[in-house]
Structure 1
């Protein structure tokens, strides 16, 4: 190993530790100064520990007051006696930790102001709950909008006060005195239960006042948790030397080389008992192919493509639209037109302009997180660009899916991050590589629905485009109009270079050419049940024509809509009170949809999530988003604005009904898995889990427990987390088990296919891999061989393993005798010949 690079790696890991601590303390100091400490990583962690004992204390206080043991019922009891104690505890804790300055020993807070603040939070929540009872649908729409837009608390409160005014309701029903008494009562309970706040009297005369301070014990608790949370807040950089291989001796210490990076296990979040099982499997060589695949991924040699980085930073800093790249600065609304001067605030033109401004501000607020991520990606890329080779340590989630540890810059990022990375070692293209590099250009541009030879021709036909872009990407911005602009830019550079001389097949290329699955979840379900219909639609049968499952569902959806052209029925329109006020004929809705266009963009996400326990609700959400996106891109408004929601829901209903006509096996397999998981949950086995192994032997343990505290949503303050108290977490939740196992089962098979593919390819001499769950990439010259390896690995998985029968054998042992009669039969096998996958180039393409 290069001694200089080893020393560089040690310094990088030490720098990462310093950056971790700096970032952690900066966030939490900011939270203290802005009185949002309860919402920080550390604040949330501490509140979680206090929630249960504080809730118990409030419950005792209310019980004592109600029984008369505490004497006459207090004003506080009368006001909050019917409110969930957990809700009171959560809101009061937010008030306490936002105000008393536990971080870096902030200034003490006045007792009166803290009590009024805490009481005010509970008052506001109480008013909103009463509003929800009286106007539930209206309330639900507002609540959903709040969650979608992520408005800060004070903005939510301002908006709701306006809503109350519009509904002729009083917002404030408690006086300040009421809020004070409620807050004082809760602070007193917190003090009695924990002893972690102190009340002192400061000043004298008119300046005399009572203040609340964090106790030394609370400050010590914060300090201890701060150290713990620093470790959880770790910043991970790429390494400049190969990461430590995963082996029986390193299963719990990660791929980094020093103590400066917090150690992590191979399987993130795993329990000690699971790690012991894993260690035994590794020691007996059961998981050789799994570890071999993960080690191959993290031994892949990468480098930053500096030319792409320069160009992307250029367009980013100038706010030039470029795919999913966010703007570097906020958008500014156009000045108000002069004709608005002197008009009343409720004039339609004024309202329209204000709505326009609101949309701009909403957009700015939503992209803040994306902007931070983009800036961080560029910063890390620039830092790592001086190294010829970098590596990305990987770990696995509980289902076996592989993830790089470094965030910001890694091969699984969005387009603008993927485009920044190329393999460190190039390979000559050869004839096959030249063809696949041409196909890669077409894929990146957005021509991935063409036949393979048509994509290759597209690449050849657009050599001049590649040359124009490569010559001056800062001024020739044609590349920014492609589907994946940053990866397409990297292709333009490489394609132009390949054709700079007379023999393009001799060009040494560093790009990774990716092959994407055709809805991998449906491919797995079709394989495990040999579903010939579903398999045809996801390119699992011999076929030189590319099938599009999303387009197939779109065609069925349109057929169902056309059947409504002559319908006499319609959708009832109700007011806020639930009374029917009108109806919209199905005929009108269906014709409007057909005119609008039911294409794959409408059906893609509902179909994509179906194998992962997609629901009717999620289908509706995705159709709404697809319609909004289509309108945002310039499509005509398909229906009157006031009835647009009905239009969207009608479309979602038809999409949901169309999916089972195309996606057959997935539905039956999902329902079977859900039933088996529910029965295991009801049986409460000693193991307290359901488990299975992937075809490569990777163990998956799934457990979803009951809790003593239900999840309580609040309008302004998020949701109460479920505290993990061991005495209350000893029973499985059958409902959650049923909903969580099907997607986890399919994800585990996704992970297994990746392990099988990478390990098989590594055995055949391929050394560099780009992998994103169901998208695998290698050098262009290796793609022809790799494409067949992908298909062979998949076929071998399902020809050598009946995954549902194996799941049954394990689950059946966990189901109690009295419930065994409820076990449903495994769905029957169809007639799909898996070997047909081997001759279909579109299986991954």
Structure 2
């Protein structure tokens, strides 16, 4: 034992005696002597108190040190993260992967996941995947395996979740560079540790001030008890990790409000992790949001002051020649000790300014290959079943079942709904979806890993991040660089995660959450819902034999992935047989062969299918029976423009239903081509237009017209796309067309240079012209769908502009600034609510953004004044524009859930990406039947009538403020005017209307009786106000006097329905395909 260790052991023993002495009044008197003895021994061994403190893991000894330092009025030393003793073998195993601050790098966490493999008491060989081993077992052994597996991985999962709160995002390249840069200055000590130590010491000194004077000191003293248990150094390390881990994500500095939003609740996590202290919640409940943000500001202030770096004069001269950035000059200013700042705070670039943190240019380059931040991993055991809003999903992390954060009013409503059992069916579906075990496809993972290392990128995989940042003046190049960089960072993060979880072949699960419409989303960053390059990685953990027609469904799947979505089964089989050699070549030589798979519209999923088909053929060649081949491959069935399918079913629209394959037609209908044909006929008609501009745009439109040109606009029609939005979509397609003509050898020469130049120069106006023609063509094909969208928007405006005395009274008392214009600019405090057939209540909760957001200082967070707990008005613009897509999404969510429930009730695997349903090849036929049956079941009731009833219930007892022309009903107008002159509040329009509103609800309104007698034609929003869904008469403002009155709110009658027979969906081959 070294002399230093002996001295530390003596010191620990002395501190323990001090602890014992202070426990009893009889021995307490000797505690001062023990303190003197302690410091005498430290002097004899030439030790600092900090050296002893660094070795203390027992909390009671740390508490004694703090007490001693306070009594002697000396600086409290910094304690390292203690590793609490647990019986959990995984926590002990994890400790070797952590750093001295209790944090763990993302790659070390992946290492831990890979190296703590379930070996079932040595029965599983090291190199075999768990799912492969499982397939070799008999039924009894499978049962025992699964029990042991779940016991092992439940503990492992809990530790992984706890570790995720303490992931360090400081890239290893940065650490290495910073160490090399300052090794001569700091005697090989790590630069980051120097910053952490220096910052922590300064903050601890502030905590020791007897009479705090500054706001920072007062705030720290307010939470002094917290820092007794949680060392300041842990927060400084976390703060540095957050800053350095985000540098690669932002081009002009890390926004401070982002840092605060990420670290705001780290205080709770540190408190729970630092000590097994059952009353730590008592401290935390008094730490409000503002105090948390202010504490982070204190840490930032001191860190920025303490984080310095020594740079030679040669490096400073070099920096001056390399950069023109104004803020870089601040990095060149030396401090009194000759060092330079490593971090500075400045305003962001652009017109909207907010404070950001920038790191010294010498260090920043090593953060360019940032791997991205992980928020949620897949799980290695099934998620905890959802039982209420906050119980379910991850084992340790508590999350809300809703993805977005809603305010208390929203959540309180759902708490009551959950308590009443109306969410039970939704929870049940989430639990079923979460119980599906996935595995990473090792063959496709190899493909992605190889493609990721290609210097120019490959297909949809962006190229590696370049150190050469475009000059600030070149805006286009800089935007392209930022976009590519962000995409690559996300790709790196997801690929690292796939590699981290793939080695052992463990079961992977994801919890599921909801959005407000009831749509389901995986919680994990890595999931099957991602784009083609990651979707190809997912296969079922459990295998199933292909059975009678599974092989044919594999072929059908490959054909569809390749782009043949309109093929019958026989055509798809013929396609795969014809291209058998191309498929095998793609599977065996994906990069070095003919690369047939690259011609596909979804190349990576196509390649995955090629590999699976090749395995089946090889199995057959070796004498195997194809029906017995066991596969984990998921086969998809996708809806045909699913949003319009729901519209056609709602309106019983036979023509529209045929266009989106609701009918049992022998040939698949191509709605995009049908719209393109309608557009073509309209443009042909305009060729002879007397208007010269129309003739020109018609001719140019016929040149660029294609299925691709109209597809995006048709798809987004269901989402209520505007003319401006559609014009933008068309302009993007025109740009693609021009680029293709210039770059594709097969296209060169097909269009004259003059025509291309004209298309390019007129692209803005041409885009708007074609957008109007396309939207008009869609409306003619789907007139009933357009009518429903209009019906929805009109009635939502009426609901949100309705009045009742309680709401107006609330505004008057709680929001007087809104009351001044409450009747001229109606503010609804109630969101739109409707119930879907599953019982789930959809609350379209679009609250107006507060207009008092501001940045009070450089280190302030974004302040959104909370004030008193008051209700916020709804955003009418968002509510009206959102109702059509949200209503349709709420229905497709029900369709997916009902399909899922029936699949699981029959013991079949099921996964979904909204309107794309997945299962094993052998079960596709059964899934196809179920999803058709559930669609018919969903739409058999009159869903629009149910929605109308919900809206009528919502406006029950409410009134609309409308107007009539005084000249049309002069006697009525005069009677109302005379009556209003008798009101005590006749000089204030708001008070006068409020008075009439209360009279209406009390049943004492004379005006309402007159309105019934005279029955004037009234107008609302410049349109005639009645119950008819027909196009209303417009109000013409002729400058004459009008009279405002209240009438009961009227929800329009439903648009007329067609004669579509829904049962034909059951026989439609291409409804989902």
TM-score after normalising by structure 2: 0.55
Displacement of 1:332 after TM fit? 9.2
Q: Tell me, yes or no, if structure 1 residue 28 matches structure 2 residue 243.
A: yes
Tell me which moved more, 741-750 or 680-689.
Answer: 680-689
Q: Distance in 1 between matches of 2:834 and 2:530?
A: 30
Q: Distance in 2 between matches of 1:103 and 1:781?
A: 62
Q: Distance in 2 between matches of 1:441 and 1:34?
A: 41
Q: Tell me, yes or no, if structure 1 residue 256 matches structure 2 residue 374.
A: no
Q: Where does residue 484 of structure 1 map in the other structure?
A: 602
Q: Distance in 1 between matches of 2:453 and 2:720?
A: 41
Identify if the C-alpha distance between structure 1 residues 17 and 786 changes in structure 2 by more than 3 Å, giving closer, same or farther: same
Identify if the C-alpha distance between structure 1 residues 320 and 303 changes in structure 2 by more than 3 Å, giving closer, same or farther: farther
What is the CA deviation profile of residues 345-371 of structure 1, one whole-angstrom value per residue up to 9, with x for unaligned ones? xxxxxxxxx999986665333211111
Q: Distance in 1 between matches of 2:954 and 2:394?
A: 39
Displacement of 1:629 after TM fit? 2.4
Give SS of 1:106's match.
Answer: helix
Q: Where does residue 818 of structure 1 map in the other structure?
A: 959
Q: Tell me, yes or no, if structure 1 residue 243 matches structure 2 residue 471.
A: no
Q: Tell me, yes or no, if structure 1 residue 508 matches structure 2 residue 630.
A: yes
Identify if the C-alpha distance between structure 1 residues 696 and 20 changes in structure 2 by more than 3 Å, giving closer, same or farther: farther
The structure 1 residue matched to 2:834, chosen from 684, 692, 697, is: 692
Q: Tell me, yes or no, if structure 1 residue 433 matches structure 2 residue 550.
A: yes
Q: Distance in 2 between matches of 1:726 and 1:837?
A: 53
Identify if the C-alpha distance between structure 1 residues 434 and 252 changes in structure 2 by more than 3 Å, giving closer, same or farther: same
Q: Distance in 2 between matches of 1:264 and 1:20?
A: 25
Give SS of 1:539's match.
Answer: coil
Displacement of 1:665 after TM fit? 2.2
Displacement of 1:396 after TM fit? 0.7
Q: Where does residue 304 of structure 1 map in the other structure?
A: 440
The answer to whether the 8 Å contact 1:38/1:44 transfers is: no
Displacement of 1:315 after TM fit? 1.7
Q: Distance in 1 between matches of 2:954 and 2:530?
A: 39
Matches within 5 A, 1:44-123: 102=300, 105-107=303-305
Displacement of 1:374 after TM fit? 1.0
User: Relative contact order (alpha carbons < 8 A, sep ≥ 6): 1 or 2 greater?
Assistant: 1
Q: Where does residue 731 of structure 2 map in the other structure?
A: 624
Displacement of 1:401 after TM fit? 0.6
The answer to whether the 8 Å contact 1:688/1:731 transfers is: yes
Q: Distance in 2 between matches of 1:472 and 1:825?
A: 62
Q: Distance in 1 between matches of 2:303 and 2:886?
A: 44
Q: Where does residue 160 of structure 2 map in the other structure?
A: 12
Displacement of 1:727 after TM fit? 6.5
The structure 1 residue matched to 2:586, chosen from 469, 472, 487, is: 469
Q: Distance in 2 between matches of 1:532 and 1:24?
A: 61
The answer to whether the 8 Å contact 1:323/1:481 transfers is: no
Displacement of 1:428 after TM fit? 1.0
Give SS of 1:501's match.
Answer: helix
Identify if the C-alpha distance between structure 1 residues 445 and 495 changes in structure 2 by more than 3 Å, giving closer, same or farther: same
Identify if the C-alpha distance between structure 1 residues 316 and 683 changes in structure 2 by more than 3 Å, giving closer, same or farther: same
Displacement of 1:838 after TM fit? 0.6
Q: Distance in 1 between matches of 2:606 and 2:631?
A: 14
Q: Where does residue 591 of structure 1 map in the other structure?
A: 699
Q: Distance in 2 between matches of 1:270 and 1:333?
A: 39
The structure 2 residue matched to 1:497, chosen from 590, 615, 618, is: 615
The answer to whether the 8 Å contact 2:510/2:522 transfers is: yes
Displacement of 1:482 after TM fit? 1.8
Q: Distance in 2 between matches of 1:803 and 1:102?
A: 55
What is the CA deviation profile of residues 371-404 of structure 1, one whole-angstrom value per residue up to 9, with x for unaligned ones? 1111111100001102331101111111111111
Structure 1: unaligned runs, 5 residues or longer: 48-95, 110-153, 158-201, 205-210, 214-221, 223-232, 335-353, 571-584, 713-719
Q: Where does residue 511 of structure 2 map in the other structure?
A: 393
Identify if the C-alpha distance between structure 1 residues 331 and 440 changes in structure 2 by more than 3 Å, giving closer, same or farther: farther
Q: Tell me, yes or no, if structure 1 residue 293 matches structure 2 residue 429.
A: yes
Q: Where does residue 905 of structure 2 map in the other structure?
A: 763
Q: Distance in 2 between matches of 1:725 and 1:459?
A: 65
Give SS of 2:914's match.
Answer: coil
The answer to whether the 8 Å contact 2:169/2:245 transfers is: no
| Higher-Rg member (1/2) | 2
Q: Tell me, yes or no, if structure 1 residue 709 matches structure 2 residue 709.
A: no
The structure 2 residue matched to 1:444, chosen from 537, 546, 561, is: 561
Give SS of 1:430's match.
Answer: coil
Q: Distance in 1 between matches of 2:761 and 2:299?
A: 47
Q: Distance in 2 between matches of 1:380 and 1:212?
A: 33
Q: Tell me, yes or no, if structure 1 residue 42 matches structure 2 residue 180.
A: no
Displacement of 1:103 after TM fit? 5.6
Q: Distance in 2 between matches of 1:724 and 1:660?
A: 44
The answer to whether the 8 Å contact 1:29/1:103 transfers is: no
Q: Distance in 1 between matches of 2:409 and 2:848?
A: 20
Q: Where does residue 670 of structure 1 map in the other structure?
A: 789
The answer to whether the 8 Å contact 1:795/1:835 transfers is: yes
Q: Distance in 2 between matches of 1:34 and 1:528?
A: 48
Give SS of 2:675's match.
Answer: helix
Q: Where does residue 167 of structure 1 map in the other structure?
A: none
Matches within 5 A, 1:37-436: 37-38=254-255, 41-42=258-259, 102=300, 105-107=303-305, 235-248=375-388, 251-258=389-396, 261-266=397-402, 268-272=404-408, 274-275=410-411, 278=414, 286-319=422-455, 322-330=458-466, 362-385=479-502, 386-407=504-525, 409-436=526-553
Identify if the C-alpha distance between structure 1 residues 322 and 454 changes in structure 2 by more than 3 Å, giving closer, same or farther: farther
The answer to whether the 8 Å contact 2:536/2:608 transfers is: yes
The structure 2 residue matched to 1:454, chosen from 557, 571, 575, is: 571
Q: Distance in 2 between matches of 1:315 and 1:841?
A: 37
Give SS of 2:618's match.
Answer: coil
Q: Tell me, yes or no, if structure 1 residue 602 matches structure 2 residue 817.
A: no
The answer to whether the 8 Å contact 1:101/1:108 transfers is: no
The answer to whether the 8 Å contact 1:332/1:360 transfers is: no
Q: Distance in 2 between matches of 1:428 and 1:368?
A: 43
Give SS of 2:843's match.
Answer: strand
Displacement of 1:43 after TM fit? 5.4
Q: Distance in 2 between matches of 1:39 and 1:837?
A: 54
The answer to whether the 8 Å contact 1:298/1:392 transfers is: yes
Q: Where does residue 531 of structure 1 map in the other structure?
A: 653
The answer to whether the 8 Å contact 1:333/1:360 transfers is: no
Identify if the C-alpha distance between structure 1 residues 5 and 810 changes in structure 2 by more than 3 Å, giving closer, same or farther: same
Tell me which moved more, 736-745 or 689-698.
Answer: 736-745
Q: Distance in 1 between matches of 2:895 and 2:665?
A: 22
Q: Distance in 1 between matches of 2:701 and 2:472?
A: 27
Q: Tell me, yes or no, if structure 1 residue 793 matches structure 2 residue 934.
A: yes
Root mean square deviation, CA, Å: 3.8
The answer to whether the 8 Å contact 2:423/2:839 transfers is: yes
Identify if the C-alpha distance between structure 1 residues 44 and 764 changes in structure 2 by more than 3 Å, giving closer, same or farther: closer
Identify if the C-alpha distance between structure 1 residues 827 and 25 changes in structure 2 by more than 3 Å, giving closer, same or farther: farther
Displacement of 1:621 after TM fit? 1.1
Identify if the C-alpha distance between structure 1 residues 235 and 521 changes in structure 2 by more than 3 Å, giving closer, same or farther: same
Q: Where does residue 881 of structure 2 map in the other structure?
A: 739
Q: Distance in 1 between matches of 2:1065 and 2:924?
A: 17
The structure 2 residue matched to 1:557, chosen from 667, 679, 688, is: 679
Q: Distance in 1 between matches of 2:958 and 2:412?
A: 29
Identify if the C-alpha distance between structure 1 residues 561 and 617 changes in structure 2 by more than 3 Å, giving closer, same or farther: same
Displacement of 1:684 after TM fit? 5.2
Q: Distance in 2 between matches of 1:843 and 1:548?
A: 12
Aligned residue pair count: 639
The answer to whether the 8 Å contact 1:100/1:212 transfers is: no
